[in-house]
Amino acid sequence: VMAQESGKRKKPNILVTGTPGTGKTTMSTALAEATQLNHINIGDLVKEKNLHDGWDDELDSYILNEDLVCDELEDAMEEGGNIVDYHGCDFFPERWFDCVVVLQTDSSVLYDRLSKRGYKDAKLSNNVECEIFQILLEEAKESYAEDKVVALKSNNIEDISRNVETLTDWIRNWSIPI
Ligand code: DAT
C-alpha cells in the first residue's frame, strides 16, 4: 500500500528536521539547488501566510497552527518534489514523506552557532539540551517508519557537501522507474 501511495508521486518529498541551528535551511537550500526540488521553509511560510495563532513571548516564536500549515501544504505534497525544512515533525501526515533526515550537531558547536544567532539564557540552553537528548531523532522515529529516518552529522562545511551528495544520489535513484 505504501509503495502504491508514494508511486503516485513522480518525485519524492523529503523532510529535513533537527534542532534549530543544526543547518536545515543551509543544507535544504543547497539540496534544492542541486536537485531542482522545491525548498519549503516552514518558519518562513508560517510568517508569510499567517499560519499561526499569535506570538509566544516566553518561547520567543510564533505559535504555529498545525491545521493551517497542513492545509496549506497538501496540494504541493501530493504533487511531490518538496524539501520541507522544520524543527518539528510529528504533526505532518506520515504519508507525505519518502525520507526523513534528522541533522545532528555536537553540542559545543551548536552552542556557538546559536549564540551567534543571538539566542540567550533559556532559549539557548533549551535548544542545546534538545540536541543533547536527541529529541528530534526520537520524534522522527516515533512518527515515521524506521527505514525512512536517517540521522546525518552537520558539524562542518564538509558535512554539508557530503549530505547534499548523499541525498542527491538518493533522490535520483528514487525517481528511476524499476
Ligand atoms: P537551521 O535551519 O537548522 O536553524 P541554519 O541552516 O540556519 O540552521 O544554520 C545555522 C547557522 O549555522 C548558519 O549561520 C549556518 C551555519 N551552519 C549550518 N550548518 C553548518 C555546518 N554543517 N557547518 C558549518 N556551519 C553550519
| Residue type at position 171 | I
* pLDDT band at residue 178 under the 50/70/90 scheme: low
Q: Is residue 73 in a domain?
A: yes
- Could you tell me if the CB of 26 is within 6 A of ligand 1? yes
Residue 15, CA distances (Å) to 58, 117, 118, 160 in order? 27, 23, 26, 16
- Residue range(s) defining the domain that contains residue 40: 12-167
Q: Is residue 4 in a domain?
A: no
Give how many domains the chain has, as a whole number: 1
Q: Is residue 24 in a domain?
A: yes
Q: Is residue 177 in a domain?
A: no
Q: Is residue 175 in a domain?
A: no
CATH code (residue 56): 3.40.50.300
Q: Ligand 1 mean position to 33 CA, how many Å? A: 17
Q: Is residue 5 in a domain?
A: no
- Hey, how many other C-beta atoms are within 10 angstroms of the C-beta on 28? 25
Strand partners, 40: 84
Q: What is the pLDDT of residues 75-128, one digit of tens each?
A: 999 999 999 999 999 999 999 999 999 999 999 999 999 999 999 999 999 999
Contact at 8 Å (CB) between 103 and 28? no
Say which residue, 175 or 1, is predicted with more confidence: 175
ipTM: 0.99
Pocket probe for ligand 1: among 22, 26, 127, the residue whose CB has the most ligand atoms within 8 Å is 26
Average pLDDT value for the chain: 94
Closest among 121, 125, 150, 123 to 136, alpha carbons compared: 150
Strand partners, 14: 83, 99
> For residue 41, which atom of ligand 1 is closest to its CA?
2
Q: Is residue 3 in a domain?
A: no
Contact at 8 Å (CB) between 124 and 175? no
- Could you tell me if the CB of 65 is within 6 A of ligand 1? no
Residue that is written with C-alpha cell 558535512 in the block: 159
Atom 10 in ligand 1: which residue has the minimum CA distance? 21
Contact at 8 Å (CB) between 14 and 101? yes
Q: Is residue 100 in a domain?
A: yes
